[in-house]
Amino acid sequence: MILKSFVRDYGDEQSKIRNSRAGKIFLICTCVFVVAILFVGGLAFRFYLKSFAKSQVVQDYDKYYVMITDNYKSDFWNSVYSGALEAAKAENVYVDLLGESFSEDYSCEQLMKIAIASKVDGIIVFANETDTMTKLIDEAVSKGIPVVTLYSDNTKSKRLSFVGVGSYNIGREYGRQIFNLITEKRREDFIESETMEARKSMKVSVLVDTDAKDTGQNILISALQETLSQENATNSEFSINIVPVNNKNAFSVEESIRDIFLRENIPDVIICLNELNTECAYQAVVDFNMVGKVGILGYYDSESIVNAIDRNVLYATISIDTTQMGEYCIEALTDYYDTGNTSEYFTADVTLINKANVSEYLKKEEDDE
């Protein structure tokens, strides 16, 4: 009994020793693991702080310009802005699309006031011919801020330069496309009646902004009529009317264009002079089952517009070199600061997209992706 008790006590003692050693080893391993974690975490945190500090370093630009448009969300204006931004970087200048980061929408006139109060180094603005815009541009210039008008001019102001498109050339291109439509209609009328006496007049509606007093629109329409006359289209074969469109927002544009299709005399051709009007017009053609009956001559080459041409919903559209427009804005301001003067007019290139060449643009989009 005494021997058994001794053996049992001895075994318990050895077990305690083993457990104690295991506990010490576990404790040591735990401490080492914690120290390692803290060490690695410290290194990682220091690396994060360095990276964060680098990301917080603000580049020191020589100049700060702002671009003001009526719709900073549109593909057209974003493309123009991208062109300006890239060109500005080469000059160590930053361009801000003013209004993009604001919680509410402001008019071009309100944004002009903000830009002037902020004492920016240059303003690029989608202008108009109103007296209010004239006074704002002149106020900016009087305070030493050069102003470049973009796409729509204010001829009465002291603006530095105007960057736009050739309204006359666009009008002539539209005129040629209308003549093509008239020629197609001549052929259809002749086949149906086997006589040229049954030729009907083609109704052409040009959508214009109700708020704009843009002489460029008048030049475009005059060039359109001149081209049709040169192509030997008689006055009895076509009639042109102006349709005012409320461009304050997308809803008002949509309503204005839908009203056209609710009238008794729906036009044979609708000419759109901006991106939003084009998209609303071709959507209305689809909604009212007028595809193939109403020809849409659009404006700009967004993905949806180009696809609409491919699907025969749009007859043709005018593509604007928006990147070039943005670059010209920066060039005008750079020349002014470098030499004290610059060109008064810059004209961006335009290209017609229709069924004949739309596949090239679709392929280009795929390559870019």
Structural domain boundaries of the chain? 21-56, 63-165+323-348, 167-320+350-368
- Confirm whether 63-165+323-348 and 167-320+350-368 share one CATH topology: yes
Whether 158 shows a pLDDT value over 80: the answer reads yes
237 vs 146, which has greater pLDDT? 146
Rounded-to-integer distance, Cα 173 and Cα 218, Å: 15
Please choose, from the candidates 254, 251, 265, the residue with its C-alpha nearest in 3D space to the C-alpha of residue 294. 265
Each residue's pLDDT tens digit, 201-222: 789 999 988 765 666 778 888 8
Winning range, highest mean pLDDT, from 46-55, 135-144, 269-278, 357-366: 135-144
Helix (H) or strand (E) holding 243: strand 238-245
The reported pLDDT for the residue numbered 137 is 97
Give mean pLDDT, residues 324-350. 95
pLDDT confidence bin for 191, thresholds 50/70/90: low
Asked if 289 and 306 touch (Cβ cutoff 8 Å), the reply is no
pLDDT confidence bin for 184, thresholds 50/70/90: confident
Give mean pLDDT, residues 134-147. 97
pLDDT confidence bin for 344, thresholds 50/70/90: very high
Give mean pLDDT, residues 178-202. 69
The reported pLDDT for the residue numbered 345 is 94
pLDDT confidence bin for 336, thresholds 50/70/90: very high
45 vs 355, which has greater pLDDT? 355
Q: What is the mean pLDDT of the chain?
A: 83
Instruction: Please name the amino acid found at residue 204.
Output: V
Whether 18 shows a pLDDT value over 80: the answer reads no
Each residue's pLDDT tens digit, 26-72: 666 666 555 555 554 444 444 444 444 434 345 688 999 999 998 88
Asked if 199 and 189 touch (Cβ cutoff 8 Å), the reply is yes
Instruction: Identify the CATH homologous superfamily for domain 63-165+323-348.
Output: Response regulator (3.40.50.2300)
Share of the chain above pLDDT 70, in %: 76
The reported pLDDT for the residue numbered 218 is 82
3-state secondary structure the chain: CHHHHHHHHHHHHHHHHHHHHHHHHHHHHHHHHHHHHHHHHHHHHHHHHHHHHHHCCCCCCCEEEEEECCCCCCHHHHHHHHHHHHHHHCCCEEEEECCCCCCCCCCHHHHHHHHHHCCCCEEEECCCCCHHHHHHHHHHHHCCCCEEEECCCCCCCCCCEEEEECHHHHHHHHHHHHHHHHHHHHHHHHHHHCCHHHCCCEEEEEEEECCCCCHHHHHHHHHHHHHHHHCCCCHHHEEEEEEEECCCCHHHHHHHHHHHHHCCCCCCEEECCCHHHHHHHHHHHHHCCCCCCCEEEEECCCHHHHHHHHCCCCCEEEEECHHHHHHHHHHHHHHHHHHCCCCCEEEECEEEEECCCHHHHHHHHHHHC
Domain 167-320+350-368, what fold? Answer: Rossmann fold (3.40.50)
Helix (H) or strand (E) holding 10: helix 2-55
Rounded-to-integer distance, Cα 241 and Cα 239, Å: 7
Whether 83 shows a pLDDT value over 90: the answer reads yes
316 vs 59, which has greater pLDDT? 316
Rounded-to-integer distance, Cα 155 and Cα 128, Å: 9
Is 21 exposed, middle or buried (CB count within 10 Å of its CB: 0-12, 13-18, 19+)? Answer: exposed
